[in-house]
Structure 1
């Protein structure tokens, strides 16, 4: 009688000793000082949408409708673009047959250091380098109030005007002093207007706006091009305190010239990295991983291939889930399921386009879940049997 009573007690005590975290070596967490709060009374249910060709078409239409509007431009096309003079621009004025009124061609100047430059050299240099801090040609600098001084004419307001308009204005003002004056006005240094290019480009910094229209792709190219980690599909443009998202690769991939917007003075371009363009592949795959979007696009088939494919022995091919919207709607994400056993599954997997921060999860087969449960319980059963044998 005593033996029958001691056997269950010894068995329970030995198993409790084996399962106690404080009695076993290795890392463990003492949860005695932890108390979980705000536990939901009932588990929340989520709607799961089966992936079909109709669902894919509806999602594509939804993406097209939610595209952000493009920034408005002062010019409808590059052919209508005209540069307007501004303060700090440097003008070169030529009056034919009157060298005393013409900007000296051979005069050199210094910027305060060892750099000197002739006006001929200024005209030969690329317009991309006409920025403050570099060598400036000798000419008429537009003052902060938008005026220049010219002999016989005095102070002339030129800001906001085109070189052709300034030429006509000076010619009319010199008419009382010269017989049919012929003038030429050009901008020698573009310093009044600029854009800033930041982020993952090789040479970030300011770019001057010149008489040649400056577009988004031009700005990235003139900044040395993008780095290997740049996300050209999500380029950010800040204009007048408002953000726009542009696809710089849209011009090359789809011929979408609307994305190659014309830049204006004060624009800030930021080329981000690809950290915000990831999807996560989890569950019964060979290599759970985070996958970067390829040129802004990735499908279920692409993501599973990057993860090495699903596990043949453990995965449930009927349970390939896509969980979307966890970052913006953690309480109500969109969940889609693809049944890989269906004949059209391979086609659908190549057409369902993922979005940044989507989670692709491959479920576990029922038999595998049972086998894993047995593997967890079996050591405990073996311990009980061994303890019983020792106490006999």
Structure 2
């Protein structure tokens, strides 16, 4: 009677272990493929789960490009010594008469010091009136004032000097060898020449990104593209802020992979096969090659193209499924481009979960047998 009872106890123990394992769950790296599908929009979830084929790959092949808009590219070069609002100017005026309009008796010249250019770009000069100073060089302003005074005093001679203010300047900051405020001069009117003036970049050129902020607008470009395409070598404007930084684009790799980490994208375009390879490839004993997911948020236009629907509004959560076991699965994955912020997640093979359950059950059974032996 003892052995049948022992066998029954063993079966009960195994069933109890199975139930315990089922209730408590097993260690794993993330959701299963089935759990991800349960979160699809079709099943009441918030994500679109899309199996990738050639059409989907082409529709999703959108990569936000760095570059400057037309407002940056079409801006003309400024003069080397433009007067700006806030500058303080000095005027010296000579008159070819003994008793001139501005000179006192016995004096041949008048000094007008500390004429500040107002917020609208004007200064006031006696007998010449309100004169537009901003946007002109000191030489151009000298000619304007001379013309205005000529009708009232014979052969006036005018000299304009800058008392305070730097004229047209830009700020260069970030990963450059000499941060600072630099004047826009004849040799430094373009972005590339100003970067050279600041000593060049202090990081590897391959990962350097240059951002130019102009008022409320901004644009950025790879340093490599700045020198390879002259359209990116924009003319600078007074007040521009130039920031050089290392590219921060990356994707995150999770699940049954050779490594789980955040991976920099660099300046090259990376596809799904390369992304998996960069973290050591699929974990041979764990990964399900039918369950390679790329998760991202797509803008409305791309989501509509991928789903083939025009009733999609706003950004959409997408879970793209790559099945590497299909005849063309590797080619499709090779053509699927990874973007900044993507999560590449590989699910575990169903067998792995079953193996974990069996190991847990058998381990529990062994523990029960050991305990039974102890009480004999």
Q: TM-score range by the shorter chain?
A: 0.5 to 0.7
Q: Is 2:240 the counterpart of 1:271?
A: no
* Alpha-carbon RMSD: 4.8
Normalising by structure 2, report the TM-score. 0.62
CA drift at 1:165: 2.6
Please give the per-residue CA displacement for 1:103-150, whole angstroms capped at 9, x wherever unaligned: xxxxxxxxxxxxxxxxxxxxxxxxxxxxxxxxxxxxx9874456699x
- What is aligned with 1:76? 74
- What is aligned with 2:59? 58
Q: Is 2:247 the counterpart of 1:262?
A: no
Q: Any residues of structure 2 matched to 1:3-82 within 5 Å, and which? A: 44=45, 46-60=47-61, 62-63=62-63, 70=69, 72-73=71-72, 76=74, 78=76, 81-82=78-79
Normalising by structure 1, report the TM-score. 0.60
Q: Any residues of structure 2 matched to 1:168-179 within 5 Å, and which? A: 168-169=143-144, 172=147
CA drift at 1:189: 9.9
Residues 1:213 and 1:223: Cα distance change in structure 2 (over 3 Å): closer
Q: Is 2:245 the counterpart of 1:247?
A: no
CA drift at 1:155: 11
Does structure 2 conserve the Cα–Cα contact (< 8 Å) formed by 1:89 and 1:191?
no
Does structure 2 conserve the Cα–Cα contact (< 8 Å) formed by 1:249 and 1:295?
no
Residues 1:321 and 1:71: Cα distance change in structure 2 (over 3 Å): same
CA drift at 1:58: 1.7
Gaps of 5+ in 1: 20-39, 96-139
The secondary structure found in structure 2 opposite 1:325 is strand
Gaps of 5+ in 2: 21-38, 95-112, 299-314
Does structure 2 conserve the Cα–Cα contact (< 8 Å) formed by 1:56 and 1:352?
yes
Higher relative contact order (CA 8 A, sep 6+): 2
Q: Is 2:350 the counterpart of 1:366?
A: yes
- What is aligned with 1:115? none
Residues 1:318 and 1:255: Cα distance change in structure 2 (over 3 Å): farther
Q: Is 2:253 the counterpart of 1:281?
A: yes
Which is strand-richer, 1 or 2?
Answer: 2
Following the alignment from structure 1 to structure 2, what is the Cα–Cα distance between the partners of residues 212 and 141?
Answer: 29
Following the alignment from structure 1 to structure 2, what is the Cα–Cα distance between the partners of residues 281 and 212?
Answer: 46
Following the alignment from structure 2 to structure 1, what is the Cα–Cα distance between the partners of residues 49 and 277?
Answer: 24
Please give the per-residue CA displacement for 1:274-308, whole angstroms capped at 9, x wherever unaligned: 44x11111222212222101116332233222211
Does structure 2 conserve the Cα–Cα contact (< 8 Å) formed by 1:251 and 1:260?
no
- What is aligned with 2:287? 315
Following the alignment from structure 1 to structure 2, what is the Cα–Cα distance between the partners of residues 216 and 343?
Answer: 49
CA drift at 1:317: 1.6
- What is aligned with 1:110? none
Q: Is 2:329 the counterpart of 1:340?
A: no
Following the alignment from structure 2 to structure 1, what is the Cα–Cα distance between the partners of residues 91 and 336?
Answer: 59
For residue 180 of structure 2, the aligned residue among 200, 205, 214 is: 205
Does structure 1 conserve the Cα–Cα contact (< 8 Å) formed by 2:78 and 2:237?
no
Does structure 1 conserve the Cα–Cα contact (< 8 Å) formed by 2:247 and 2:266?
no
The secondary structure found in structure 2 opposite 1:388 is helix
- What is aligned with 1:222? 197
Does structure 2 conserve the Cα–Cα contact (< 8 Å) formed by 1:92 and 1:188?
no
Following the alignment from structure 1 to structure 2, what is the Cα–Cα distance between the partners of residues 71 and 171?
Answer: 38
Residues 1:185 and 1:220: Cα distance change in structure 2 (over 3 Å): same
Following the alignment from structure 1 to structure 2, what is the Cα–Cα distance between the partners of residues 256 and 381?
Answer: 73
CA drift at 1:167: 5.1
Following the alignment from structure 2 to structure 1, what is the Cα–Cα distance between the partners of residues 227 and 328?
Answer: 27
CA drift at 1:322: 0.5
CA drift at 1:164: 5.3
Following the alignment from structure 2 to structure 1, what is the Cα–Cα distance between the partners of residues 290 and 169?
Answer: 56
Following the alignment from structure 1 to structure 2, what is the Cα–Cα distance between the partners of residues 212 and 67?
Answer: 26
